[in-house]
Amino acid sequence: MASPLLPALLTLTLLLRSGSGSSQWPQWPVQRVPVVWPQQTEERPAPHFLQPAQLEVTSSCGPECHKRAPLPNYWDLRRFLSYETLHSGGRLTETAVAIYGFDTNAFHETPAGRSRSKRQIFGHDGRFSIVGQDFLLNYPFSAAVKLSTGCSGTLVGERHVLTAAHCVHDGKNYVKGAQRLRVGFLKPQQKDATANVTDGRPHKMKFQWIRAKRTHIPKGWIKGTANDIGMDYDYALLELKKAHKRRHMQLGVSPSAKRLPGKRVQFSGFDDDRPGQLVYRFCEAGDETYDLLYQRCDAQPGASGSGVYVRMWNRRRGRWERKVIGIFSGHQWVDLSGTPHEFNVAVRITPLKYAQICYWIKGNYVDCRDG
């Protein structure tokens, strides 16, 4: 009798390894990215670090609620994309930005949602614990990291980690531990390094920690709350004090859900109900707004901040590329016609967010024009 895990494992294999390039395969859209350019940086009073980090954001504002929100104008966007930088010694700065090459008509191009459509039931836990050194230390799983505040993150540069803003800032104040933030990399314990890999015993793993040098958070998160515009900007970028020497993921502008391979998304993180384990999941993408993607991937607190990624064909470069297109934010109870529905929500990497995050990583806009 076939194992009930076989279909899931076959699906996992197909998601991780796609076939050769073809016009029939989902392709990364070719688009030019606007410029988000720093204008002025000012010192701010040192923050207090009092509250523990939220491992999950909850909200009662669902897809239709977000779609009904007023569209931001150019000056709104400049305020939302201005950002704070928390330095490792507790110093805080705020940077104002200007935006070039962005057409606000893009907000009207968001695909129509299907908030009343039938969705996958949460009852069956579809997560996979990734075990074994051969998997944990290999890409893409090796790009997942743990934050000392309890969340997850994804390597997106030689010294950079993408995560959720709420993992270091609750919308009003920086959380306890943000001043001395550390990033954990799973690696084998030293005594297991020479273990006989043929004896069937799994390698014991531990975290190796690297301190964060600075943390960037958009003012759209700090000015808002999880119930309105704030959730649209629930992302942060950490710069490490030293290079991590692992392969990192590339950033990508989020395609519409209907253009995703099989309409599916994937992400890996450190769910707090499976301590010390890396947990992988995939599921079908559901409704979407310009800034948010709704899905029903199984997740527990601790997975927040994980990079949501897909693998698609890059026609211009003639190769398959796996890119982070969103950041897993948290959980929502949404009232649809008087009936509560559950969703998990990810912040989409829009062209503006791509331009901002890429500038934080590269330090220039010339290398950030192709999403």
- The beta strands (E) that lie in 234-350 are given as 236-240, 250-251, 264-269, 278-288, 292-295, 307-314, 319-336, 339-348
Supply the pLDDT for residue 308.
95
Please check whether residue 289 lies inside any domain of the structure.
yes
Residue 234 CB-half CA count within 13 A: 38
Confidence class of residue 336 from pLDDT cuts 50, 70 and 90? low
Please check whether residue 1 lies inside any domain of the structure.
no
Q: Is 166 among the residues known to form the active site?
A: yes
Supply the pLDDT for residue 364.
92
Q: Is 254 among the residues known to form the active site?
A: no
Please check whether residue 219 lies inside any domain of the structure.
yes
- Reported as a single tens digit per residue, the pLDDT across 272-296 is 888 888 999 888 888 888 999 988 7
Confidence class of residue 347 from pLDDT cuts 50, 70 and 90? very high
- In what helix (H) or strand (E) does residue 8 lie, and over which residues does it extend? helix 6-16
Rounded to whole angstroms, the Cα distance separating 365 from 352 reads 12
Tokens describing residue 225: 């709350």
Quote the number of domains for the chain: 1
Q: Which of 228, 256, 272, 370 is catalytic?
A: 228
Supply the pLDDT for residue 23.
55
Query: Mean of the pLDDT values across residues 167-178?
Result: 92
Residue 176: CATH number of its domain:
2.40.10.120
CA Rg, the chain, in Å? Answer: 20
Q: Which of 166, 169, 216, 248 is catalytic?
A: 166
Supply the pLDDT for residue 334.
58
Query: Mean of the pLDDT values across residues 4-15?
Result: 46
Query: Mean of the pLDDT values across residues 344-369?
Result: 94
Please check whether residue 118 lies inside any domain of the structure.
yes
Q: Which of 166, 126, 347 is nearest to 251 (CA)?
A: 347
Q: What residues contact 305, with CB distance under 8 A and at least 6 apart?
A: 147, 151, 152, 153, 154, 162, 163, 164, 167, 269, 327, 328
Supply the pLDDT for residue 152.
96
- Reported as a single tens digit per residue, the pLDDT across 223-260 is 765 455 678 999 999 999 999 989 999 999 999 888 88
Could you tell me which residues are beta bridge partners of residue 216? 85, 237
Q: Which of 142, 254, 304, 306 is catalytic?
A: 304
Residue found by looking up tokens 């999880």 in the block:
226
- Cis status of the peptide bond prior to 140, with omega within 30 of 0: yes
Say what the pTM is: 0.85
Please check whether residue 140 lies inside any domain of the structure.
yes
Question: CA-CA distances (angstroms) from residue 20 to 13, 151, 155, 295, 371?
Answer: 15, 35, 26, 28, 22
- Reported as a single tens digit per residue, the pLDDT across 71-122 is 889 999 999 999 999 999 899 999 999 999 988 877 755 443 333 333 333 4
**Residue 141 lies in domain:** 6-368
The region of weakest confidence among 35-49, 113-127, 143-157, 350-364 is 113-127
- How would DSSP label each residue in 35-58? EEEEEEEEEEPPPP--SPPPS-EE
Q: Is 268 among the residues known to form the active site?
A: no
pLDDT of residue 208 exceeding 70:
yes
